[in-house]
Amino acid sequence: MARIRNEEGIILVAALILLFIVSLFLFTLVSWHSNLYRTFDSIETYYEKETKKIMGQGG
């Protein structure tokens, strides 16, 4: 019961540190995902332009 009624605030500090770590991980994951799809979009645009160029040449 003494650990539940922690008057020193150690659990609060631990919870804040854990929240910071999880938030940083999620921010990193979302940034990576956004960058990955930006790369896919640029590859798609490149291949669309090349396809239009080839089809415009008649071949």
- The H-assigned helical ranges of 1-59 are 10-56
The predicted pLDDT at position 10 comes to 83
CA atoms in the 13 A half-sphere facing the CB of 46: 6
Report the C-alpha gap between 36 and 43 in whole angstroms.
11
How many other CB atoms sit within 10 Å of the CB of residue 32?
10
Note the residue count of the chain: 59
Per-residue pLDDT tens over the stretch 45-56: 999 999 999 998
Rounded to two decimals, the pTM is 0.59
List, for residues 1-37, the tens digit of each pLDDT value: 455 665 678 888 889 999 999 999 999 999 999 999 9
